[in-house]
């Protein structure tokens, strides 16, 4: 790690709300969380609470799992304590209990990477919470005993028996980092569509498509669109953009200060880049967009993230870059800083992501032969192209982020099957659909997905069922993310073709009545 954390960022190490009195007057405790980088804690100075100074001799470090270290043991004979990113350390103070209310807190400690650090915050002592709590184990919360305790708790609390929820076929320890307070599984049906013929730069060949859904006719509809595309030579897919964002905001006294800061950031990109990239072997800073409003400077950091979706990766990288910025900018004073300003629009649909890309920007296109379209879909190219023009007006009037029919259906079903973060459907569902009648009288159809957020590594992609579905697509292993993005786009186009034709030919309602009702 090469950056020096600023005092503003150091405050973020403290876990707000962690200050509490220990039972039976045994002291006071609070915790800090390593949000910077893997470091070695080399020493602990004093802790000050209000006017009381607690020396190292009266401080223990609780690492969890019953492991405690005396603060005075650090630094002796070169002893240090390794702290991984995300690790929490509780400071246990041998001092008198604190009264309820706000307290000023100062902590001094040193690390090998950053030297001596001083964190100053305020926190409150509040009355004990007596609410019913879900059982958990500090030692191993994914052990059978911990899971069974939660299952029994849920059944007793609700007076219900959960037979199917409790049945699963994998080691629950695989879920660490994916699901907390694990109690069981939601079994979502998976249907097969395809094979789909994809003519991509990365996905080439025929692919079986696993779709996890409870919506009747969804798999059948996508399968119908796939068959038509295959009869016309398949779908051509192209990744045309790749960027994942984090968007911090810097607050100044006036607009001029924000403007000058934006200019300095643009001039300092080559100094900022290595700071950001020092946190990861994968994340690469491509560029920084600056947007000014009022007295605020919004910086939109754009990274490539390899096979990972990368939201956490770019958050950490941007954190490091902003720490360097806060330390080195000598212009107008920065009054406030927030790592995320809501301008990356994480898990929200937005026009900026349609215009500037978030995740993968991918296009799927095909020429559907006139005779195939009429024989299989009972519509003509002219009907579908005209229907598209009418639908464009409806999408425009409604302010929708998609002028197509239902890209979210196929994307969501693929996301659930392959372990994607399903909340990213909010961005990924944006689409720009275009069609025209060719001079040969066929239908050219194309959809651009401007913010498809997918991963073939990390997140839920390594879980048992989800990894099997990715293996079905041949999208496991290094360098498979563009392949997966192309397949997703091809599936989306098949769904647009199928549903668009069903609405145009008035088959939509009758199909749902025939296949989609379980009455």
Active site (catalytic) residues: 215, 421, 512
Contact indicator for 493, 365 with CB cutoff of 8 Å: yes
Q: Which of 254, 438, 407 is nearest to 331 (CA)?
A: 254
Q: Residue 312 CB: number of other CB atoms within 10 A?
A: 14
Strand, helix or coil at 411? Answer: helix
Is the torsion defined by CA of 341, 347, 353, 359 positive or negative?
Answer: positive
Contact indicator for 262, 308 with CB cutoff of 8 Å: no
Q: Which of 242, 238, 158, 155 is nearest to 203 (CA)?
A: 238
**Spatial separation of the C-alpha atoms in residues 63 and 30, rounded to whole Å:** 12
> Is the backbone peptide bond immediately before 503 cis, with ω within 30 degrees of 0?
no
Q: For 246-271, give one letter per residue: b (16+ CB within 10 A) or e.
A: bbbbbbbeeeebbbebbebbeebeee
- Would strands 249-251 and 336-338 be described as parallel, antiparallel, or unpaired? antiparallel
46 token code pair = 């004093």
Angle between the 269-277 and 255-267 helix axes, to the nearest 10 degrees?
A: 70
Contact indicator for 455, 483 with CB cutoff of 8 Å: no
Contact indicator for 179, 168 with CB cutoff of 8 Å: no
**Spatial separation of the C-alpha atoms in residues 276 and 283, rounded to whole Å:** 8
Strand, helix or coil at 468? Answer: helix
- Centroid of chain to Cα 478: 20
415 token code pair = 């996301």
Q: Which of 399, 456, 406, 454 is nearest to 429 (CA)?
A: 406
294 token code pair = 């009022």
Contact indicator for 104, 49 with CB cutoff of 8 Å: yes
148 token code pair = 């069974």
Q: Which residue has the tokens 């697509």?
A: 473
**Spatial separation of the C-alpha atoms in residues 127 and 146, rounded to whole Å:** 27
**Spatial separation of the C-alpha atoms in residues 147 and 279, rounded to whole Å:** 35
**Spatial separation of the C-alpha atoms in residues 476 and 459, rounded to whole Å:** 13
Q: List, in order, residues 6 or more apart from 399 with CB less than 8 Å away.
A: none
């Amino acid at each position: 790690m090469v950056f020096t954390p600023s005092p503003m960022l150091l405050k973020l190490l403290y876990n707000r709300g962690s200050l509490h009195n220990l039972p039976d007057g045994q002291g006071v405790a609070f915790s800090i969380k390593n949000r910077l980088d893997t470091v070695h804690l080399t020493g602990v100075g004093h802790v000050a609470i209000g006017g009381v100074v607690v020396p190292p001799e009266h401080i223990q470090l609780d690492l969890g799992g019953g492991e405690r270290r005396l603060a005075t043991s650090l630094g002796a004979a070169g002893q240090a304590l390794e702290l991984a990113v995300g690790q929490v350390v509780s400071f246990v103070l041998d001092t008198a209990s604190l009264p309820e209310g706000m307290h000023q807190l100062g902590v001094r400690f040193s690390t090998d990477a950053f030297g001596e650090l001083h964190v100053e915050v305020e926190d409150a002592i509040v009355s004990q919470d007596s609410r019913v709590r879900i059982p958990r184990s500090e030692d191993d919360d994914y052990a059978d005993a911990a899971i069974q305790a939660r299952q029994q708790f849920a059944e007793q609390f609700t007076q219900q028996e959960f037979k199917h929820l409790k049945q699963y076929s994998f080691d629950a320890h695989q879920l660490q980092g994916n699901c907390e307070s694990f109690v069981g599984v939601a079994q979502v049906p998976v249907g097969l569509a395809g094979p789909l013929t994809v003519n991509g730069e990365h996905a080439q060949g025929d692919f079986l498509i696993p779709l996890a859904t409870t919506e009747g006719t969804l798999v059948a509809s996508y399968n119908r669109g796939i068959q038509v595309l295959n009869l016309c030579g398949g779908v051509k897919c192209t990744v045309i953009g790749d960027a994942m964002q984090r968007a911090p905001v810097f607050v100044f006294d006036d607009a001029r200060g924000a403007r000058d800061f934006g200019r300095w950031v643009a001039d300092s990109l080559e100094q900022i880049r290595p700071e950001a990239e020092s946190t990861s072997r994968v994340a690469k800073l491509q560029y920084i967009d600056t947007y000014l409003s009022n007295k605020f400077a919004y910086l939109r950091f754009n990274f490539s993230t390899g096979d990972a979706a990368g939201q956490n990766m770019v958050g950490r990288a941007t954190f490091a870059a902003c720490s360097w910025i806060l330390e080195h900018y000598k212009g107008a004073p920065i009054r406030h800083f927030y790592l995320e300003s809501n301008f990356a629009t994480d898990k929200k649909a937005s026009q900026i992501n349609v215009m500037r890309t978030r995740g993968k920007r991918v296009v799927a296109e095909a020429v559907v032969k006139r005779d195939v379209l009429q024989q299989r879909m009972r519509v003509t190219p002219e009907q579908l192209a005209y229907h598209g023009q009418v639908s464009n007006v409806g999408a425009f009037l409604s302010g929708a982020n998609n002028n197509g029919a239902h890209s979210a259906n196929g994307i969501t079903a693929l996301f659930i099957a392959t372990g994607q973060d399903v909340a990213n459907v909010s961005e990924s569902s944006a689409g720009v659909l275009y069609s025209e009648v060719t001079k040969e009288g066929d239908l050219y159809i194309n959809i651009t997905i401007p913010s498809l957020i997918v991963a073939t590594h990390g997140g839920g992609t390594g879980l048992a069922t989800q990894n099997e579905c990715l293996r079905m697509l041949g999208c496991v292993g290094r360098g498979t993310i563009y392949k997966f993005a192309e397949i997703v786009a091809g599936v989306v186009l098949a769904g647009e073709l199928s549903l668009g034709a069903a609405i145009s030919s008035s088959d939509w309602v009758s199909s749902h009545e025939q296949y989609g009702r379980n009455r």
